[in-house]
């Protein structure tokens, strides 16, 4: 009887556990989907993206170079103390000339307080200025990464939207092909169609199914790319509203103005300018090996029995003065360091010049991406309207018997291709706007805010 009651209790517990699992599953299924727009994705990436967090940490570490270098120019105060127990064995001749050995044990101590103020140290002064240039470089690198976050997030977001739109086109095409297949079967049953129409519609539908699988894989992959940047799951993305989207030319409307703006605002150029400045100070640091150093030194010291001739004697000494150190010969090491620093300075200078030229090419490409993107989107919008009319005409002609099913299928395929090209052209135009602003070093959220206003709420 007791065994049966234990069995019943276990069944009741299992039933409650199953009910809890079902309830959790139902609540998860009924949980509201978390939608995301471009601005939210950018703000999340600023907080969660691993590369930007690593760059922030590296910048914080580099900023500590300034107080470290400045500390070498400030007064240095040091204290020292020692306590010793000495055992002295001394052998000396006595008055008869015979050697006599004596053992003496005594304690000794010394204390010192030293204040040193650098007056002229060319190496430390150059190192301090170099540290400031290196911090400027770190800040520029951080700014560059912040600009890159806007580009990477926008690229991942637009790519996810593009794959979702391509999937929607494939599904719409699937519906059209299914309708055409049903119509071909009905026409054959009514004696007005042919078996060839059914086979062609079925082949088009089978190919569409393969395209659907690929499109779904692309949607999953692009969403995972975006999730990696923002470090949170994505249920829905705010889609682009073509009615709100504005096709505008870049302002200013000359690529030379954008190149001039990049010279002043590009974080890439700012970084290399700071590196070139740091390289110049590295030359000064190397040349400092030829220059003397001058310090002001103040010291207080006290010693008890510090030598064997002053056992049980105490001395207190106070001194203040200047200490000059003049290098004479270092075996050619200083000259070698100077040549090395000059070569590094030349390398950074040539790298900066190469970046200027490359940046001009990239700005020109993105500038054309915006200007020509406007024309391409407008042309494809007209092409889509024309293809919609072609599809409608082919359907009516097919129903009237003057067009074949192949003509209808081809028209449908051309329409989908035009829609796909239009979607891609819109996203290429948007990305060119984001990249152009990032390359020129403009406000990071200006384009993000503008494009975000073109999304469906």
- Domain CATH for 186: 1.20.1600.10
What Cα–Cα distance (Å) separates residue 198 from each residue in 185, 206, 234, 382, 406?
6, 12, 41, 32, 10
Residue 12 within a domain: no
| Same-domain pairing of 88 and 208 | no
Three-class DSSP category at 134: helix
| Same-domain pairing of 195 and 170 | yes
Q: Which helix (H) or strand (E) holds 111?
A: strand 99-120
Least confident piece of the model among 32-46, 251-265, 373-387: 32-46
In the predicted structure, residue 32 carries a pLDDT above the cut 60: no
* pLDDT, mean of residues 292-303: 94
CA–CA dist 450, 14 (Å, integer): 55
Top pLDDT among 17 and 250 is at 250
Strands 99-120, 76-93: parallel, antiparallel or unpaired by DSSP?
A: antiparallel
Task: Label residue 199 by pLDDT band (50, 70, 90).
Answer: confident
Task: Return the residue matching tokens 């030319």.
Answer: 249
| Same-domain pairing of 236 and 360 | yes
Q: Longest Cα pair distance anywhere in the chain, in angstroms?
A: 151
Three-class DSSP category at 88: strand
Contacts of 153 (CB under 8 A, 6+ apart): 38, 41, 42, 45, 226, 229, 230
Three-class DSSP category at 94: coil
Contacts of 284 (CB under 8 A, 6+ apart): 122, 126, 129, 130
The pLDDT value recorded for residue 412 is 82
* pLDDT, mean of residues 404-419: 82
Task: Decide which of 306, 326, 346 is a domain's last residue.
Answer: 326
CA–CA dist 176, 388 (Å, integer): 13
Structure tokens at 91: 């052998």
Query: Nearest CA to 38 among 448, 403, 387?
Result: 448
Provide the number of structural domains found in the chain. Answer: 2
Phi, psi of 307 (to 5 degrees): -135, 165
What Cα–Cα distance (Å) separates residue 9 from each residue in 14, 16, 18, 388?
9, 11, 14, 67
In the predicted structure, residue 33 carries a pLDDT above the cut 70: no
Q: Which domain holds residue 428?
A: 33-73+121-291+332-452
CA–CA dist 372, 380 (Å, integer): 12
Residue 1 within a domain: no
In the predicted structure, residue 219 carries a pLDDT above the cut 50: yes
Q: DSSP E strands: which ranges in 341-391?
A: none
* pLDDT, mean of residues 303-314: 80
In the predicted structure, residue 14 carries a pLDDT above the cut 50: no
In the predicted structure, residue 25 carries a pLDDT above the cut 70: no
CA–CA dist 405, 412 (Å, integer): 11
CA–CA dist 379, 208 (Å, integer): 27
Least confident piece of the model among 6-10, 203-207, 289-293, 331-335: 6-10
End-to-end CA distance of the chain: 64
Strands 35-36, 236-237: parallel, antiparallel or unpaired by DSSP?
A: parallel
Task: Label residue 13 by pLDDT band (50, 70, 90).
Answer: very low
Query: pLDDT by residue (tens digit) across 64-89?
Result: 999 999 999 999 999 999 999 988 88
Residue 385 within a domain: yes
Query: Nearest CA to 122 among 285, 349, 359?
Result: 285
* pLDDT, mean of residues 187-196: 78
Top pLDDT among 149 and 15 is at 149
* pLDDT, mean of residues 35-40: 87
The pLDDT value recorded for residue 10 is 42
**Per the confidence metrics, is the pTM higher than 0.85?**
no
Under 8 Å between Cβ of 394 and 411: yes
Residue 14 within a domain: no
Residue 147 within a domain: yes
Residue 13 within a domain: no
* pLDDT, mean of residues 16-42: 53
Question: 320 pairs with which residues across the strands?
Answer: 298
| Same-domain pairing of 268 and 389 | yes
In a 13 Å sphere around the CA of 80, the CA atoms on its Cβ side amount to 10
| Same-domain pairing of 409 and 387 | yes
Under 8 Å between Cβ of 144 and 267: yes
Helices 122-189 and 50-63, packing angle to 10 deg: 170
| Same-domain pairing of 321 and 370 | no
| Same-domain pairing of 274 and 416 | yes
CA–CA dist 417, 423 (Å, integer): 10
Structure tokens at 430: 């948007």
| Same-domain pairing of 101 and 194 | no
In the predicted structure, residue 216 carries a pLDDT above the cut 80: yes
Residue 318 within a domain: yes
The pLDDT value recorded for residue 65 is 95
Cβ burial 227-239 (10 Å sphere, 16+ → b, else e): bebbeeebeebbe
| Same-domain pairing of 141 and 82 | no
Residue 15 within a domain: no
The pLDDT value recorded for residue 6 is 42
Query: Nearest CA to 413 among 219, 162, 174?
Result: 174
* pLDDT, averaged across the chain: 86
Provide the residue count of the chain. 457
In the predicted structure, residue 173 carries a pLDDT above the cut 80: yes
CA–CA dist 194, 185 (Å, integer): 9
CA–CA dist 366, 288 (Å, integer): 46
| Same-domain pairing of 310 and 174 | no
| Same-domain pairing of 83 and 66 | no
The pLDDT value recorded for residue 416 is 86
In the predicted structure, residue 11 carries a pLDDT above the cut 60: no
Task: Label residue 30 by pLDDT band (50, 70, 90).
Answer: very low
Top pLDDT among 416 and 183 is at 416
The pLDDT value recorded for residue 12 is 47
Under 8 Å between Cβ of 145 and 443: no
| Same-domain pairing of 246 and 316 | no
Phi-psi region of 344 (alpha: psi -120 to 50; beta: other; left: phi over 0): alpha
Query: Nearest CA to 359 among 281, 428, 271?
Result: 271
């Amino acid at each position: 009887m007791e065994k049966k009651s234990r069995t019943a209790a276990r069944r009741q517990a299992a039933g409650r556990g199953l009910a809890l699992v079902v309830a959790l599953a139902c609540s998860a299924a009924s949980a509201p989907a978390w939608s995301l727009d471009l601005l939210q994705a950018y703000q999340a990436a600023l907080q969660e993206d691993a590369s930007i967090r690593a760059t922030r940490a590296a910048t914080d570490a580099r900023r500590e170079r300034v107080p470290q270098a400045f500390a070498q120019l400030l007064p240095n105060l040091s204290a020292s103390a020692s306590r010793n127990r000495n055992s002295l064995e001394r052998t000396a001749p006595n008055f008869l000339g015979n050697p006599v050995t004596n053992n003496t044990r005594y304690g000794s101590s010394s204390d010192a307080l030293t204040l040193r103020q650098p007056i002229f140290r060319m190496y430390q002064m150059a190192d301090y200025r170099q540290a400031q240039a290196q911090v400027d470089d770190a800040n520029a690198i951080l700014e560059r990464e912040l600009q890159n976050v806007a580009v990477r997030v926008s690229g991942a977001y637009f790519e996810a939207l593009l794959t979702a739109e391509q999937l929607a086109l494939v599904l719409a095409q699937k519906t059209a092909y299914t309708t055409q297949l049903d119509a071909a079967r009905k026409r054959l049953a009514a004696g007005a169609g042919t078996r060839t129409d059914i086979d062609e519609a079925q082949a088009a539908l089978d190919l569409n199914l393969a395209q659907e699988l690929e499109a779904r894989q692309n949607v999953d992959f692009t969403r995972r790319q975006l999730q990696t940047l923002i470090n949170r799951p994505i249920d829905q993305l705010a889609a682009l509203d073509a009615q709100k989207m504005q096709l505008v030319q870049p302002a200013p409307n000359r690529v030379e103005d954008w190149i001039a703006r990049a010279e002043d605002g590009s974080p890439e150029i700012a970084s290399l300018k700071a590196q070139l400045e740091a390289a110049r100070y590295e030359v000064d640091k190397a040349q400092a090996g030829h220059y003397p150093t001058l310090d002001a030194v103040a010291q207080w010291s006290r010693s008890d029995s510090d030598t064997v001739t002053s056992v049980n004697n105490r001395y207190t000494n106070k001194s203040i003065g200047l200490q000059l150190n003049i290098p004479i010969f270092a075996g050619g090491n200083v000259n070698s360091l100077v040549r090395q620093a000059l070569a590094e300075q030349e390398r950074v200078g040539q790298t900066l010049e190469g970046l200027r030229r490359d940046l001009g090419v990239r700005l020109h490409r993105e500038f054309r991406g915006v200007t020509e993107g406007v024309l391409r989107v407008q042309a494809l919008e007209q092409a889509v309207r024309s293809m919609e009319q072609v599809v409608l005409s082919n359907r009516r002609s097919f129903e009237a018997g003057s067009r074949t099913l192949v003509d209808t299928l081809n028209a449908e395929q051309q329409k989908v291709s035009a829609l796909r090209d239009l979607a891609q052209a819109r996203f290429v135009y948007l990305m060119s706007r984001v990249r152009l602003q990032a390359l020129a070093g403009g406000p990071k959220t200006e384009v993000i805010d503008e494009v975000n206003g073109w999304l469906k709420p």
